[in-house]
Amino acid sequence: MAPIRLRHPKGVTTLQVDLDSFTVLDLQQEIFAVTEIPPSQQELKAGYPPHSLTLIPELPLESLGLKTGEQLIVTQKPGAARTAAPAANTVSNASPAAPMTGLTRSQLSEPVVLTPAPAAPQESGPDYVPTEGGYLVHRIVPDDNSCLFSSIALIFEQDMSKAPQIRKIVAEEIRKDMDTWNEAILGRPREEYISTILKPNTWGGAIELAVLAKHYNTEVASVDVETGRIDRFAPPAESDSGNRCVLVYSGIHYDAATIAPMLDVPDDFHQTMVPREREGDDDAVLQAAKKLADKLRVKKAYTNTATFDLRCQVCKTGLKGEKEARQHAKETGHVEFGEY
Protein backbone atom coordinates (compact mmCIF):
# COMPACT_ATOMS: atom_id res chain seq x y z
CA MET A 1 0.00 0.00 0.00
CA ALA A 2 1.21 3.52 -0.79
CA PRO A 3 0.29 6.81 0.91
CA ILE A 4 -1.59 9.40 -1.13
CA ARG A 5 -2.22 12.80 0.45
CA LEU A 6 -5.75 14.04 -0.25
CA ARG A 7 -6.84 17.67 0.09
CA HIS A 8 -10.61 17.97 0.27
CA PRO A 9 -13.32 20.37 1.53
CA LYS A 10 -13.14 18.84 5.02
CA GLY A 11 -9.36 19.09 5.37
CA VAL A 12 -6.39 16.85 4.56
CA THR A 13 -6.35 13.04 4.76
CA THR A 14 -3.72 10.44 3.92
CA LEU A 15 -5.15 7.51 1.98
CA GLN A 16 -3.48 4.12 1.70
CA VAL A 17 -3.90 2.83 -1.85
CA ASP A 18 -2.55 -0.11 -3.81
CA LEU A 19 -1.00 1.43 -6.92
CA ASP A 20 -0.65 -2.00 -8.52
CA SER A 21 -4.10 -3.55 -8.03
CA PHE A 22 -6.53 -0.67 -7.41
CA THR A 23 -8.80 0.58 -10.17
CA VAL A 24 -9.68 4.26 -10.56
CA LEU A 25 -13.07 3.41 -9.03
CA ASP A 26 -11.36 1.90 -5.97
CA LEU A 27 -9.61 5.24 -5.40
CA GLN A 28 -12.84 7.16 -5.94
CA GLN A 29 -14.62 5.02 -3.37
CA GLU A 30 -11.84 5.59 -0.83
CA ILE A 31 -12.29 9.31 -1.44
CA PHE A 32 -16.06 8.96 -1.09
CA ALA A 33 -15.62 7.33 2.35
CA VAL A 34 -13.66 10.37 3.55
CA THR A 35 -15.47 13.22 1.81
CA GLU A 36 -19.00 11.92 1.09
CA ILE A 37 -18.56 13.19 -2.48
CA PRO A 38 -19.92 10.40 -4.77
CA PRO A 39 -17.51 9.13 -7.44
CA SER A 40 -19.67 10.56 -10.24
CA GLN A 41 -19.35 14.05 -8.72
CA GLN A 42 -15.62 14.05 -7.98
CA GLU A 43 -13.13 16.30 -9.74
CA LEU A 44 -9.52 15.31 -9.09
CA LYS A 45 -6.35 17.28 -9.69
CA ALA A 46 -2.71 16.28 -9.23
CA GLY A 47 0.77 17.63 -9.89
CA TYR A 48 2.18 21.14 -9.83
CA PRO A 49 0.64 23.25 -11.07
CA PRO A 50 -2.42 21.04 -10.39
CA HIS A 51 -3.97 19.57 -13.53
CA SER A 52 -7.27 17.76 -13.91
CA LEU A 53 -7.25 13.97 -14.12
CA THR A 54 -9.42 12.02 -16.57
CA LEU A 55 -11.31 9.48 -14.47
CA ILE A 56 -12.41 6.27 -16.19
CA PRO A 57 -13.57 4.05 -13.30
CA GLU A 58 -12.81 0.71 -14.95
CA LEU A 59 -9.16 1.41 -15.74
CA PRO A 60 -6.36 0.44 -13.37
CA LEU A 61 -5.16 3.19 -11.05
CA GLU A 62 -1.86 3.06 -12.92
CA SER A 63 -3.61 4.89 -15.78
CA LEU A 64 -3.57 8.11 -13.70
CA GLY A 65 0.22 8.05 -13.38
CA LEU A 66 0.16 8.54 -9.60
CA LYS A 67 3.25 8.03 -7.46
CA THR A 68 3.85 7.22 -3.80
CA GLY A 69 3.41 10.38 -1.74
CA GLU A 70 1.39 12.11 -4.49
CA GLN A 71 -0.95 14.92 -3.44
CA LEU A 72 -4.47 14.93 -4.84
CA ILE A 73 -7.05 17.70 -4.65
CA VAL A 74 -10.71 16.69 -4.79
CA THR A 75 -13.62 19.06 -5.28
CA GLN A 76 -17.28 18.51 -6.04
CA LYS A 77 -18.42 19.26 -9.57
CA PRO A 78 -20.24 22.60 -9.92
CA GLY A 79 -23.99 22.24 -9.53
CA ALA A 80 -23.72 18.76 -8.01
CA ALA A 81 -25.71 18.72 -4.80
CA ARG A 82 -24.45 16.51 -2.02
CA THR A 83 -27.40 14.35 -1.16
CA ALA A 84 -28.18 11.12 0.58
CA ALA A 85 -27.76 7.98 -1.46
CA PRO A 86 -30.48 7.83 -4.12
CA ALA A 87 -32.96 5.03 -4.12
CA ALA A 88 -31.86 2.23 -6.41
CA ASN A 89 -33.65 2.46 -9.71
CA THR A 90 -33.13 1.46 -13.23
CA VAL A 91 -32.97 2.80 -16.64
CA SER A 92 -34.37 0.84 -19.44
CA ASN A 93 -36.86 -1.79 -18.70
CA ALA A 94 -34.63 -2.90 -16.02
CA SER A 95 -32.69 -0.45 -14.20
CA PRO A 96 -30.11 2.02 -15.31
CA ALA A 97 -27.39 2.05 -17.75
CA ALA A 98 -25.57 1.73 -16.60
CA PRO A 99 -24.34 -1.05 -14.87
CA MET A 100 -22.82 -1.45 -14.87
CA THR A 101 -20.07 0.41 -14.32
CA GLY A 102 -19.55 -2.63 -13.24
CA LEU A 103 -19.52 -4.90 -10.45
CA THR A 104 -17.73 -7.15 -12.66
CA ARG A 105 -17.15 -5.46 -15.75
CA SER A 106 -14.56 -7.48 -17.28
CA GLN A 107 -12.23 -6.53 -14.45
CA LEU A 108 -13.19 -9.33 -12.07
CA SER A 109 -11.70 -12.75 -12.49
CA GLU A 110 -15.20 -14.20 -12.70
CA PRO A 111 -18.22 -12.52 -14.26
CA VAL A 112 -20.75 -11.03 -11.86
CA VAL A 113 -24.45 -11.34 -12.43
CA LEU A 114 -26.54 -8.43 -11.17
CA THR A 115 -30.27 -8.86 -10.76
CA PRO A 116 -31.82 -5.36 -10.76
CA ALA A 117 -34.68 -4.28 -8.57
CA PRO A 118 -38.06 -4.23 -10.32
CA ALA A 119 -38.44 -1.12 -12.46
CA ALA A 120 -41.06 1.47 -11.60
CA PRO A 121 -43.98 1.76 -14.02
CA GLN A 122 -43.23 4.05 -16.97
CA GLU A 123 -45.34 6.04 -19.31
CA SER A 124 -45.93 4.38 -22.66
CA GLY A 125 -43.16 4.63 -25.24
CA PRO A 126 -39.47 5.54 -25.00
CA ASP A 127 -38.25 8.91 -23.79
CA TYR A 128 -37.12 11.45 -26.39
CA VAL A 129 -36.07 15.07 -26.83
CA PRO A 130 -36.19 17.30 -29.93
CA THR A 131 -32.95 17.90 -31.80
CA GLU A 132 -31.86 19.13 -35.20
CA GLY A 133 -33.44 16.96 -37.87
CA GLY A 134 -35.88 15.15 -35.59
CA TYR A 135 -35.86 13.59 -32.14
CA LEU A 136 -33.17 11.88 -30.10
CA VAL A 137 -34.88 8.71 -28.86
CA HIS A 138 -33.91 6.46 -25.96
CA ARG A 139 -33.55 2.98 -27.48
CA ILE A 140 -33.83 0.45 -24.67
CA VAL A 141 -31.95 -2.84 -24.95
CA PRO A 142 -32.35 -5.97 -22.77
CA ASP A 143 -30.86 -5.86 -19.29
CA ASP A 144 -29.01 -9.15 -19.67
CA ASN A 145 -25.37 -8.29 -18.87
CA SER A 146 -24.72 -7.71 -22.60
CA CYS A 147 -26.34 -4.26 -22.77
CA LEU A 148 -23.20 -2.46 -23.96
CA PHE A 149 -22.69 -4.98 -26.75
CA SER A 150 -26.40 -4.96 -27.68
CA SER A 151 -26.39 -1.16 -27.88
CA ILE A 152 -23.33 -1.15 -30.13
CA ALA A 153 -24.85 -3.89 -32.29
CA LEU A 154 -28.05 -1.85 -32.64
CA ILE A 155 -26.08 1.22 -33.70
CA PHE A 156 -23.52 -0.30 -36.08
CA GLU A 157 -25.21 -3.50 -37.22
CA GLN A 158 -28.89 -2.42 -36.87
CA ASP A 159 -29.48 -5.67 -34.99
CA MET A 160 -29.04 -5.89 -31.22
CA SER A 161 -29.10 -9.69 -31.40
CA LYS A 162 -25.58 -9.50 -32.83
CA ALA A 163 -24.15 -8.70 -29.38
CA PRO A 164 -22.10 -11.96 -29.37
CA GLN A 165 -20.38 -10.85 -32.60
CA ILE A 166 -19.53 -7.52 -30.97
CA ARG A 167 -17.87 -9.40 -28.11
CA LYS A 168 -15.80 -11.32 -30.66
CA ILE A 169 -14.73 -8.04 -32.29
CA VAL A 170 -13.49 -6.76 -28.93
CA ALA A 171 -11.65 -9.99 -28.19
CA GLU A 172 -9.95 -10.02 -31.59
CA GLU A 173 -8.92 -6.35 -31.44
CA ILE A 174 -7.37 -6.86 -27.99
CA ARG A 175 -5.63 -10.00 -29.20
CA LYS A 176 -4.13 -8.16 -32.20
CA ASP A 177 -2.94 -5.03 -30.36
CA MET A 178 -0.64 -6.29 -27.61
CA ASP A 179 1.03 -2.90 -27.10
CA THR A 180 -2.11 -0.88 -26.42
CA TRP A 181 -4.02 -3.59 -24.57
CA ASN A 182 -1.31 -4.86 -22.30
CA GLU A 183 -1.74 -6.51 -18.93
CA ALA A 184 -1.26 -3.23 -17.04
CA ILE A 185 -4.15 -1.54 -18.85
CA LEU A 186 -6.42 -4.59 -18.79
CA GLY A 187 -5.72 -5.20 -15.11
CA ARG A 188 -5.26 -8.94 -15.65
CA PRO A 189 -3.51 -11.38 -18.03
CA ARG A 190 -4.50 -10.72 -21.63
CA GLU A 191 -5.80 -14.19 -22.45
CA GLU A 192 -7.81 -14.27 -19.25
CA TYR A 193 -9.39 -10.92 -20.11
CA ILE A 194 -10.20 -12.08 -23.64
CA SER A 195 -11.73 -15.30 -22.37
CA THR A 196 -13.84 -13.45 -19.82
CA ILE A 197 -15.20 -10.79 -22.19
CA LEU A 198 -16.47 -13.51 -24.54
CA LYS A 199 -18.77 -14.86 -21.80
CA PRO A 200 -22.37 -13.66 -22.29
CA ASN A 201 -22.87 -12.58 -18.69
CA THR A 202 -19.77 -10.37 -18.41
CA TRP A 203 -20.25 -6.62 -18.58
CA GLY A 204 -18.31 -4.30 -20.82
CA GLY A 205 -17.03 -0.83 -19.98
CA ALA A 206 -14.55 1.84 -20.96
CA ILE A 207 -11.99 -0.56 -22.43
CA GLU A 208 -14.60 -2.13 -24.72
CA LEU A 209 -15.91 1.27 -25.84
CA ALA A 210 -12.40 2.43 -26.71
CA VAL A 211 -11.80 -0.76 -28.71
CA LEU A 212 -15.11 -0.44 -30.58
CA ALA A 213 -14.61 3.27 -31.37
CA LYS A 214 -11.37 2.30 -33.11
CA HIS A 215 -12.90 -0.69 -34.88
CA TYR A 216 -15.83 1.29 -36.30
CA ASN A 217 -13.79 4.48 -36.87
CA THR A 218 -16.51 6.39 -35.01
CA GLU A 219 -16.61 8.40 -31.80
CA VAL A 220 -18.74 6.80 -29.10
CA ALA A 221 -20.25 9.39 -26.75
CA SER A 222 -21.67 7.99 -23.50
CA VAL A 223 -23.92 10.29 -21.44
CA ASP A 224 -24.20 9.53 -17.73
CA VAL A 225 -27.78 9.86 -16.48
CA GLU A 226 -26.92 10.77 -12.90
CA THR A 227 -24.55 13.64 -13.72
CA GLY A 228 -25.11 14.54 -17.38
CA ARG A 229 -21.37 14.00 -17.93
CA ILE A 230 -20.40 12.91 -21.43
CA ASP A 231 -17.45 10.55 -21.90
CA ARG A 232 -16.19 10.42 -25.47
CA PHE A 233 -14.20 7.51 -26.90
CA ALA A 234 -12.52 8.60 -30.10
CA PRO A 235 -10.92 6.53 -32.88
CA PRO A 236 -7.35 7.25 -34.04
CA ALA A 237 -7.16 10.51 -36.00
CA GLU A 238 -5.88 8.79 -39.13
CA SER A 239 -8.95 6.55 -39.41
CA ASP A 240 -11.60 8.84 -37.91
CA SER A 241 -14.76 8.91 -40.04
CA GLY A 242 -15.93 12.14 -38.43
CA ASN A 243 -19.09 10.44 -37.18
CA ARG A 244 -20.47 10.01 -33.68
CA CYS A 245 -22.96 7.72 -31.94
CA VAL A 246 -24.61 8.13 -28.54
CA LEU A 247 -25.05 5.73 -25.63
CA VAL A 248 -27.04 6.34 -22.44
CA TYR A 249 -25.46 5.07 -19.21
CA SER A 250 -27.40 4.76 -15.96
CA GLY A 251 -24.71 3.46 -13.66
CA ILE A 252 -25.32 -0.23 -14.30
CA HIS A 253 -26.77 -0.38 -17.80
CA TYR A 254 -26.13 0.94 -21.31
CA ASP A 255 -28.79 1.82 -23.88
CA ALA A 256 -28.52 3.43 -27.32
CA ALA A 257 -29.90 6.80 -28.45
CA THR A 258 -30.78 7.33 -32.11
CA ILE A 259 -32.39 10.05 -34.17
CA ALA A 260 -35.87 9.64 -35.63
CA PRO A 261 -37.13 12.11 -38.26
CA MET A 262 -40.63 11.71 -36.75
CA LEU A 263 -41.76 9.95 -33.61
CA ASP A 264 -43.98 7.41 -35.31
CA VAL A 265 -41.49 6.07 -37.87
CA PRO A 266 -40.29 2.42 -37.70
CA ASP A 267 -36.94 1.73 -36.04
CA ASP A 268 -35.39 1.10 -39.46
CA PHE A 269 -35.80 4.80 -40.24
CA HIS A 270 -33.68 5.91 -37.27
CA GLN A 271 -30.27 7.45 -37.87
CA THR A 272 -27.83 5.68 -35.59
CA MET A 273 -24.73 7.76 -36.40
CA VAL A 274 -24.37 11.48 -37.09
CA PRO A 275 -21.55 13.70 -38.34
CA ARG A 276 -19.71 15.56 -35.57
CA GLU A 277 -20.60 19.18 -36.07
CA ARG A 278 -18.51 20.38 -33.12
CA GLU A 279 -15.93 18.75 -30.87
CA GLY A 280 -17.21 20.20 -27.60
CA ASP A 281 -20.30 19.35 -25.59
CA ASP A 282 -22.17 22.23 -27.27
CA ASP A 283 -22.69 20.04 -30.35
CA ALA A 284 -26.44 19.87 -31.02
CA VAL A 285 -26.68 16.09 -30.64
CA LEU A 286 -24.67 16.10 -27.42
CA GLN A 287 -26.83 18.89 -26.05
CA ALA A 288 -29.85 16.73 -26.85
CA ALA A 289 -28.16 13.80 -25.10
CA LYS A 290 -27.74 15.92 -21.96
CA LYS A 291 -31.42 16.88 -22.08
CA LEU A 292 -32.35 13.22 -22.46
CA ALA A 293 -30.22 12.43 -19.40
CA ASP A 294 -32.01 15.25 -17.54
CA LYS A 295 -35.36 13.71 -18.41
CA LEU A 296 -34.27 10.27 -17.20
CA ARG A 297 -32.71 11.75 -14.05
CA VAL A 298 -36.03 13.27 -13.06
CA LYS A 299 -37.43 9.74 -13.17
CA LYS A 300 -34.46 8.57 -11.06
CA ALA A 301 -33.53 6.18 -13.85
CA TYR A 302 -30.00 5.65 -12.61
CA THR A 303 -28.07 3.80 -9.92
CA ASN A 304 -25.23 5.18 -7.82
CA THR A 305 -22.94 2.16 -7.73
CA ALA A 306 -20.96 3.49 -4.76
CA THR A 307 -23.96 3.60 -2.46
CA PHE A 308 -26.68 1.26 -3.70
CA ASP A 309 -27.81 -1.65 -1.54
CA LEU A 310 -27.07 -5.17 -2.77
CA ARG A 311 -27.65 -8.67 -1.47
CA CYS A 312 -25.58 -11.70 -2.39
CA GLN A 313 -28.00 -14.09 -4.06
CA VAL A 314 -25.94 -17.05 -2.87
CA CYS A 315 -25.44 -16.42 0.88
CA LYS A 316 -27.91 -13.52 1.31
CA THR A 317 -25.27 -11.19 2.79
CA GLY A 318 -26.24 -7.51 2.60
CA LEU A 319 -23.67 -5.25 0.90
CA LYS A 320 -23.28 -1.53 0.28
CA GLY A 321 -22.07 -0.45 -3.13
CA GLU A 322 -19.90 -1.93 -5.83
CA LYS A 323 -16.72 -1.97 -3.76
CA GLU A 324 -18.18 -4.28 -1.08
CA ALA A 325 -19.69 -6.52 -3.75
CA ARG A 326 -16.37 -6.88 -5.55
CA GLN A 327 -14.59 -7.65 -2.28
CA HIS A 328 -17.25 -10.21 -1.36
CA ALA A 329 -16.86 -11.83 -4.78
CA LYS A 330 -13.10 -12.10 -4.33
CA GLU A 331 -13.39 -13.57 -0.83
CA THR A 332 -16.22 -16.04 -1.44
CA GLY A 333 -16.39 -16.69 -5.16
CA HIS A 334 -20.05 -15.63 -5.09
CA VAL A 335 -20.83 -13.55 -8.16
CA GLU A 336 -24.60 -13.16 -8.21
CA PHE A 337 -25.98 -9.98 -6.65
CA GLY A 338 -29.36 -8.28 -6.58
CA GLU A 339 -30.47 -4.75 -5.67
CA TYR A 340 -32.88 -4.37 -2.77
CA-based radius of gyration for the chain: 19
Terminal C-alpha separation, the chain: 33
- The reported pLDDT for the residue numbered 101 is 32
- The reported pLDDT for the residue numbered 338 is 65
- The reported pLDDT for the residue numbered 61 is 87
- The reported pLDDT for the residue numbered 103 is 33
Burial (CB < 10 A; 0-12, 13-18, 19+), residue 19, is middle
- The reported pLDDT for the residue numbered 85 is 34
Residues (pLDDT < 70) of the chain are 48, 79-124, 305-308, 321-322, 335-340
Task: Write out pLDDT tens, residues 280-301.
Answer: 777 999 999 999 999 999 998 8
Beta bridge mates, 134: 131
Q: Which of 88, 94, 101 is nearest to 25 (CA)?
A: 101
What is the crossing angle of helices 206-216 and 147-157, to 10°? Answer: 10
Domain over 105-298 is classified CATH 3.90.70.80: yes
Domain over 2-76 is classified CATH 3.10.20.90: yes
Domains 2-76 and 105-298 share a fold: no
Domain boundaries, given as residue ranges, for the chain: 2-76, 105-298
Q: Which residues are catalytic?
A: 144, 147, 253, 334
pTM of structure: 0.64
The one-letter code for the residue type at 195 is S
The rounded distance, in Å, linking the Cα atoms of 225 and 81 is 15
How far apart, in Å, are the Cα atoms of 17 and each of 85, 106, 179? 24, 21, 26
Give the start-end residues of each E strand in 28-112. 42-46, 51-52, 71-76
Strands 219-224 and 274-275: unpaired
Total H helices, total E strands in the chain: 8, 16
How far apart, in Å, are the Cα atoms of 41 and each of 27, 35, 76, 244, 310? 14, 11, 6, 25, 22
The rounded distance, in Å, linking the Cα atoms of 174 and 320 is 33
- The reported pLDDT for the residue numbered 89 is 32
